[in-house]
Homo-oligomer: A and B are copies of this chain.
Amino acid sequence: MSDSVLTSPDQEVHHHATVTTNFNPEQSCEIGPTGDRQRNQDAFAIREEAALFQKELPLPGHPCNGDENLFPNKIASFTKVLPHDQLGVVILNAYQDLIRALSTADPDEFTTIPLGGIVKLVNPQGAYAFNLVGPDSHQTTIVPAPAFSSAEMASEMAEVYWQALTRDVPFNDYDTNPCTLAAAAELSDFSVFLGPKVKGEVTPQTLFRGNVTGALTGPYISQFLWLDFPFGAKTINQQYRTTVAGVDFMTSFQEWLNIQNGFPPTSGNVFDPKLRYIRNGRDLGEYVHRDFPSQEVLVAALILLGFGDIALAQTNPYLSCPTQVGFVTFGLSHILDFVNRAARLALEIAWFQKWLVHRRLRPEEFGGRVQNVLTGEADYPINPELLNSQAVSEVFSKFDSYLLPQAYPEGCPIHPSYPAGHACFIGAGVTMLKAFFKESFIIPNPVVASSDGLSLLPFSGPPLTVGGELNKLAANVAIGRDAAGVHYRSDALGLMLGETAAIGILEGYRKTYNEDFIGFSFTKFDGNKVII
């Protein structure tokens, strides 16, 4: 390591990190408790300790549902954009090439995976990315995804069929709409359905909601997806572009097959000329079609900061400090840094689990299997609770096919289903926000979108807390992808992996603060409180 080399412009040099000069460190004007040499050692020690902490955590193992081995034709695996036969079953050599690339991690192997068309795989090598903070992706685990033939898979698929059928029903009408009433009634009857229930029943008020505290309280949509937010020197409302009612995609087998083979869709979204507040599953699905990772968390953070100090977590060391306020630490800059880095670590974890462990097929692919069984083209062991469901027969009545109608013309993105990337990054971001803000703070002037999405009305009902609405936000973003047809309910277990990512980052940085700080204290998705 030497001083940086001064060169003329246009000359390329390998760079050294610091702006170095010829000053003698002994002449430093710096004040502080330690000299630069000691500080240098302390900085290294903190990094090494954080790295060691993560290294010494247990290796948890990576169980899967075994479907990939159980079905030699890979009908239960993610195969989109590889080449497929006329029934949409993957060409086995291509799948084996994908597995070889994933197994070797050789970048060259990835460039020669045979694709069926022109659409490409999304970032399988992201599965190997290392991070410098928090848990390594490979040191996290998640329960196996529901198996292809299981009763849980049956109810999950039925739920997404119902979500497709009810995309245009305003959340405000769930209590009265015949289709949402039928959805709740049928989901109650599945032998295994893990969505929220009241007294053992799915109701219009639990329908398509999450299992986290707060998700069942008040309106379907979190306040953080409706309230105006400050964006520097302007205020932005949360009316977003959406798509028109009644236009669904991939409901013909030929279109479905072409897209499975990696060709673009033959038609596109039809956009509503009016921006609207999110009022139904279609709006929510379109919102999570276009969002960037941590967009929702950034917006939530800006809303929360707008509430002022009274909404900060009780552990914030500056909360009642007479002389100082936070900014770089325990303030705006700290919060924005942590929510964004947690989002990406969560996605690294998701990509590892998706590509290297589970490779679960998407609901769109499962819909093709249902189609082939019910038309007699194939005989796959799909659970009869699904094949005999009202959800599937209603879809057939409406669309003349058993395929899962998609909200996005292109269908799902080109990476496996389990866990959902959106669930992972929103789980991470929401966890970070629970660490920095006061979960029990009651959101002032709560709102509910009108059924046409053109206005916000005052909401009167139970108090909506920051903690509850953040959990609801997590559920909305994760399950909003199901509303579009690209994920199942269990894919939202990625929330827990996101939480793990966020907690790992908080742990890593535990010794980096000078402040008297008792630790971040908040409630996990499972209801347990932690101090970090």
Check A120 against B325 for contact (C-beta < 8 Å). Answer: yes
| Closest chain B residue to A2, Cβ basis | B58
How far apart sit A298 and B343, CA to CA, in the bound complex (Å)?
15
A128 within 8 A of B: yes
Q: Which residues of B contact A102 (CB under 8 A)?
A: 31-32
Check B347 against A33 for contact (C-beta < 8 Å). Answer: no
Check A54 against B142 for contact (C-beta < 8 Å). Answer: no
How far apart sit A348 and B112, CA to CA, in the bound complex (Å)?
45
A399 within 8 A of B: no
How far apart sit A143 and B29, CA to CA, in the bound complex (Å)?
12
A46-B132, A129-B329, A514-B128 as given contacts; A60 in contact with B528, CB under 8 Å:
no
Q: Which of B42, B60, B125, B130 contacts A42 (CB 8 A)?
A: B130
How far apart sit A134 and B15, CA to CA, in the bound complex (Å)?
13
Check B343 against A234 for contact (C-beta < 8 Å). Answer: no
| Closest chain B residue to A136, Cβ basis | B43
Q: Which residues of B contact A15 (CB under 8 A)?
A: 503, 507, 524, 530-532
**Closest Cβ–Cβ distance, residue A263 to chain B (whole Å):** 15
Q: Which residues of B contact A384 (CB under 8 A)?
A: none
Check B141 against A62 for contact (C-beta < 8 Å). Answer: no
How far apart sit A220 and B47, CA to CA, in the bound complex (Å)?
43
| Closest chain B residue to A318, Cβ basis | B123
How far apart sit A430 and B5, CA to CA, in the bound complex (Å)?
22
Check B295 against A231 for contact (C-beta < 8 Å). Answer: yes
Tell me the residues in window 478-532 of chain A with beta carbons closer than 8 Å to chain B beta carbons. 496-497, 500, 503-504, 507-509, 511-516, 521, 523-524, 526-532
Q: What are 26 contact pairs spanning A and B, CB under 8 A?
A: A1-B53, A6-B528, A7-B528, A11-B529, A14-B530, A18-B500, A19-B141, A20-B57, A20-B141, A23-B141, A30-B138, A31-B103, A33-B103, A39-B136, A44-B55, A48-B51, A107-B515, A113-B323, A121-B325, A125-B324, A125-B329, A126-B326, A126-B327, A232-B290, A293-B336, A336-B343
Q: Which 8 residue pairs spanning A and B have beta carbons closest together?
A: A126-B328, A29-B64, A9-B527, A337-B344, A23-B61, A340-B340, A128-B514, A47-B51
